[in-house]
Amino acid sequence: MSALIAIRGLRKSYVMGDETVHALAGVDLDFQKGEFVAILGPSGSGKSTLMHILGFMDTPSEGSIVFDGQEVAKLEPDLRAWYRSNRVGFVFQSFNLLPRLTVLENVALPMLYRENSDPAANAAAAAVALERVGMSHRLDHRPVFWARGRLRGCHRHGYHQGEASGRRRGGCRRAGTGGQGGRDLQG
């Protein structure tokens, strides 16, 4: 089976004054379709840099990223924006919730950025995701009442149509950036 995402020789360097920071040094990783992956590692090990590149918010200095059979490492900004809107989804550490929106509206909000977005279909998909995590009775509540674990579950069960949306369908493996069970992304 070919990987949904195949990363080979990924490098990212930043020039800061007279110093060059090597955030990623030759990363090779595969992510299978439906796989749930945790990126772990100490501060400064390249986790955020890798996530920014995988989320189409940045490009690597070197290397290859094949996403669903398509080379995407050096896409133009408009194509990176299309992938961000239509193929990937993130659950941010701070959740970035809007307190004036309901639970249902917050869960449906990212789908507005998709091509051909349909508000009624978005609300229905969000309601299904909330049902999966036992929160269907809270559709009209505000996020200040959400438990963090329940929110993570809602996002993990996915409401994005993209294959890399964080849906949990299989086991969890550590694609670590250092520490036990993984390998350091900085070489």
Task: Give the residue-averaged pLDDT of 160-175.
Answer: 38
Task: Give the residue-averaged pLDDT of 78-105.
Answer: 81
Same domain flag for 121 and 81: no
Same domain flag for 79 and 117: no
Q: Is the pLDDT of residue 12 over 90?
A: yes
Same domain flag for 109 and 54: no
Place 115 in a pLDDT band, splitting at 50, 70 and 90.
confident
User: What domain range is 137 assigned to?
Assistant: 103-156
Q: DSSP class of residue 92? A: -
Token duo for residue 173: 């493996």
10: domain CATH number is: 3.40.50.300
Predicted local confidence at residue 144, as pLDDT? 66
Cβ-proximal residues to 32 (8 Å cutoff; 6+ apart), any chain: 1, 3, 4, 170
What CA–CA distance (Å, rounded) separates 30 from 178?
A: 16
pTM (two decimals):
0.60
Task: Let me know if residue 131 belongs to a domain.
Answer: yes
Same domain flag for 120 and 69: no
Same domain flag for 37 and 80: yes
Same domain flag for 81 and 43: yes
More confident residue, 38 or 32: 32
Place 86 in a pLDDT band, splitting at 50, 70 and 90.
confident
Into how many domains does the chain fold? 2
- Residue 54: what are its φ and ψ, rounded to 5°? -65, -25
Task: Let me know if residue 187 belongs to a domain.
Answer: no
Same domain flag for 117 and 140: yes
What CA–CA distance (Å, rounded) separates 167 from 157?
A: 5
- Residue 50: what are its φ and ψ, rounded to 5°? -60, -45
- State percent of the chain over pLDDT 70: 73
Task: Let me know if residue 21 belongs to a domain.
Answer: yes
Place of tokens 């250092």: 178
Same domain flag for 83 and 107: no
